[in-house]
Structure 1
Amino acid sequence: MGLARYGAAGVDPVYAAGCLFHAVGVACQALHGHARQWLINEKGMVASAGRLPLAPPDFAGRAQRLLGRVGVSTHEIEQVVADAAELVGEVRTAVGR
């Protein structure tokens, strides 16, 4: 999440979105890894991760909303980064990290 904050500081929503996509992807990999399932493609990874037993509540919906509303102002980007950090924190707790 630290790198995504640079997107807020520089008012660069594209950079922030790229960082957030990467963070959500790593969270999906962590959930699948903990479930001992392979995740070989980004296509459908969020929905698939959301169906796993240890996924945080509404993981898929929350991740989709985050990436769908990065915003353009510093405040908007900071809020989305904070929300993403919360979601990733829930994944870390779920997988024991």
Structure 2
Amino acid sequence: MFQDMNQLLQESMAPFKKMMEIQQEMLERITRQQIECTQQCIEATMAQAAALQKAENPQQFIEMQQDYTKRLEEALVAARDSNVQTVQQAQKAVQELTAASLGGK
């Protein structure tokens, strides 16, 4: 009897465990993406600081800053898009899991 109840509990908890796995994977992917983005931003900032020292006039300085800002914005937009895609994939997986769990009863 105890084994039957334990098995029933395990079966009923399976969708919840799967959902937790989906969420854990999503968070791991977002964390990796954020670390990569942060590294790129730090490297770009260091390179920009070194490049700005070579600016010969204020106009060149401004152009270099505008270019840097544009590249930084593109990197942040790419990171955002990647994060959104990761969240959407996790959402879809949870929805499918929910539909399968509720549809089976």
Query: What TM-score comes out, normalization by structure 2 length?
Result: 0.38
**Greater Rg by CA:** 2
By relative contact order (CA 8 Å, sep 6+), the higher-ranking structure is 2
Structure ranking higher in helix proportion? 2
Query: What TM-score comes out, normalization by structure 1 length?
Result: 0.41
